[in-house]
Amino acid sequence: MAIKFLVVDDSLTMRRIVVNALKSIGYDSVVEAGDGKEALGKLQAEPVDFVITDWNMPEMNGLELVRAIRSSGTLSELPVLMITTRGNKEDVLEALQARVNNYIVKPFTPQALKEKLDQIMKLVPITKG
């Protein structure tokens, strides 16, 4: 059964690019959300195996989304990869403290995405939702 991704970004362009990059490395099962709030709604409505999220978003940003996931009983172990323009040391540390599993600074390549997904999947067993 295919791994199902939730791609969260307020930029339509970035969502398309991330989905294309996922397809290019063999992952076809993707749902999308425009911000953290919508993402939480999707996570409650359907099973998802992996979250890829941006940081800067309206309503609920990526960091708040990660915190909400980690504090949720059922979703707390869900793997989360953050893809963001924020590349400062303080930002990376803040994201790690919120317990993101890995971090990509934009602009990214499909190779970098594959590398990070492989790293996460090696450490975090994907529990099929």
Cis status, amide bond into 107, omega within 30 of 0? yes
Rounded to a whole number of angstroms, the minimum distance from the CB of residue 78 to other proteins is: 14
Q: In the complex with other proteins, which residue's Cβ is closer, 29 or 64?
A: 64
Which chain residues interact with other proteins by CB under 8 A?
9-14, 16-17, 20-21, 24, 55-59, 61, 84-89, 92-93, 96, 99, 101-110, 112
Rounded to a whole number of angstroms, the minimum distance from the CB of residue 81 to other proteins is: 11
Q: Which residues contact 73 (CB under 8 A, 6 or more apart)?
A: none
Rounded to a whole number of angstroms, the minimum distance from the CB of residue 105 to other proteins is: 5
Structure tokens that stand for 70 in this block: 């980690």
User: In the chain, which residue ranges form alpha helices assigned H by DSSP?
Assistant: 12-24, 36-45, 62-70, 89-97, 110-123
Q: In the complex with other proteins, which residue's Cβ is closer, 46 or 88?
A: 88
